[in-house]
Every structure is written in structure tokens, then in C-alpha cells.
Amino acid sequence: MTALPLRPPLIVHHMAALDGQSFPPNSLEGVRAALDRGADFIEVDVTALADEDYLLVHDPYLESETTGTGPVAQCTARQASDLRCKVNGAAIDFRVPTLGEVVALFEEHPARTRLQLDFKNVVPFTAEEPLLRLARLIEPLGERVIVSSEADWQLRRLRKLAPWLELGFDIHFYIGWPDTSHPRDPAEYPRQLGAYGYYDDHPLASRRVWPAADYLADRCATLMALLPEASTLYINHRFLAQSLEDGFNWAAALHAAGMKCDAWTLDCGDPAAEANARRLLAAGVDQFTTNTPLALRALLSTT
């Protein structure tokens, strides 16, 4: 029997990355360039300001990525307009954009490109206003936008306030695979290396009783149940590849529940990521988050 051709996956431009461009991560210039190239998905990080808007930064403190200081949550939209980006600790002449500016730019490009907002506010808000603000800002984009987060509690509250909004869930506060490419932060969740070799604080991981595939199937079912309204689960590519080694296919399990699977972050030039990209495509992964979107698309198109 002749095998059916694999469906081309969606490519997600991580932090608005585009091969060969020198724009800083999460920059408005990067978003514009990716829109002009007809990107499938553009992902940016958003963190709530003190008022009016959200800032395109990954970390909760301004000094990490901008010329400002102090918590992002204490910075007003007016103050944010004076901020410049920092890359590797050095200030560069790129202004730090707001979510409102990104939405306006998307409205100027009424194409198929979708926007993924990686929602970085993990600590619950004491009031609903920041979540209502987010919904108000992105409502003009309608079905073109998805909000993803590791903080499922934030997504559940957001769902109640904006039931029209598509949601994505990153599972890695709950389960992960040791990544030897960089040191592990001891404060990072999950904190325990479980009996099956995965980082997992759940009691099921405390003793090895089942085959690893059964353990992973149960954990998958539990995590899907945390946010059954999610359309997509976002999962580290190394974790997905190890799960396949252990006999469990997350993409297949998600598809059976009507969900999609995103693998992150696979960059061309990294032999392990390139090998995993080919394998995960064959396993049915729907979309791939990358800093090298053009090269990764070319790689997967020849797989």
C-alpha cells in the first residue's frame, strides 16, 4: 500500500523570529517582517502593564529585556513608550512594543497569519481587570488569535471572561524531560525527578509500577482534563521525542481528544532538533515553534 503524504505542519515564528533578520525578540519590526513573509503563526510573549495594555516581554522585571527597571506590573503604558530593548544586556535602538500595537499591525495585514500570545503572568491577579483588558485588546482579531500559557488557572479564568477565545496549554509546570543543554533552575517546576525518568511531582511518578507508556498515557489524560477547552497543547520537542522512545505518542492521543500538538522550540543548525523535527512530523505533530522558520519549513518539506 502506498503511504499517504504527510500534511504540511504549521510553522510558528518564536518571538516573531525570521531567519536572517537582526531584529530583537518580540519586536514590532520582527512581527511586521514575519507578516510580510506570510507566516502561519507569529508567537510573542505578553506581560501585563500597570494599566491600559500589555508589554511584549518574557520576564516579570523590566531590566531583564529593556532599559527600564522594576516590575513590569508597576510600569504604566505611558512609561513603557520610552523603553528600548536590551539584547545580551546591551541597549539597542528598538522600542519595546505593546500588545495594542501588535494587534493594530495585524489588522493592517488582513491575511491568514495568526497570532499566538504566550501569556507570562503566572501569579493570579487580585482582580479581573487585567484579563478583561487582554480580551478587549485582542477581540478585533477574533479567530486569528490564541492565548497560551503554562498557568492553566489563568486560562480557566480567562475562558470564563472571554468564552470566544481559543486557548493553548503548555504542560511543563507538571511534567518534563531533563534537558542537558542548559543548567536546570532548582526553583523550576516540576522539581522532582520521578521514577520513570521524567520531572514530575505527581504521586504516580514516585514509584515505577506501570510500563512507561501507560504512565505517560495517564498523565496525558490528566493534563488534558485540566483544560479540556484547549485546542492545542504546547510540548517541548525533547520531551515528545523521549515519550516516543517510551512507546507513547502525545500527538496521537491529543488527536483522539480533538486537540492539536505543538512542538517547541526546534531550530535548524541543532542536529538533535532537526532529527526530532523529522521524527515528530512523522508522528503527527501539527505545528512546530522555531527561531528558524524558513529553514525549518524547507527541512520538513523534504522529509
Cα–Cα dist 229/201, whole Å: 24
Q: At residue 38, does pLDDT exceed 80? A: yes
More confident call, 290 vs 187: 290
Q: What are the domain boundaries of the chain? A: 15-170, 173-303
Could you tell me which residues come within 8 angstroms of residue 148 by beta carbon, excluding any fewer than 6 positions away?
A: 116, 117, 118, 119, 167, 168, 169, 170, 232, 234
- Distance separating alpha carbons of residues 231 and 167, to the nearest angstrom: 6
Distance CA 236, CA 243 (A): 11
Quick check: 2 pLDDT over 70?
Answer: no
Place of cell 523521549: 242
Q: Are 54 and 98 in contact (CB under 8 A)?
A: yes
Q: Is residue 148 exposed (0-12), middle (13-18) or buried (19+ Cβ within 10 Å)?
A: buried
Residue 236 CA from chain centroid, whole number: 10
Check whether 169 has a pLDDT greater than 60: yes
Q: Among residues of the chain, what percentage have pLDDT more than 70?
A: 98
Helix, strand, coil distribution of the chain in percent, nearest 5:
40, 20, 40
Confidence of residue 3 (pLDDT cuts 50, 70, 90): very low
Region of poorest pLDDT, from 13-27, 45-59, 180-194, 255-269 = 180-194
> Which superfamily does 15-170 belong to?
Phosphatidylinositol (PI) phosphodiesterase (3.20.20.190)
Q: Kindly report the average pLDDT of the chain as a whole number.
A: 95
Q: Out of 77-81, 124-128, 143-147, 180-184, which region has the weakest mean confidence (pLDDT)?
A: 180-184
Identify the pLDDT of residue 180.
Answer: 76
Enumerate the β-bridge partners of residue 95.
84
Indicate whether 5 pLDDT > 60. no
Mean pLDDT of 167-174: 98
Per-residue pLDDT at 6: 58
Predicted local confidence at residue 4, as pLDDT = 37
Quote the pTM value.
0.96
> Residue 118 and residue 289: Cα distance in Å, rounded?
12
Residue 52 gets the label, from left (phi > 0), alpha (psi -120 to 50) or beta, of: left
pLDDT level of residue 8 (50, 70, 90 thresholds): confident
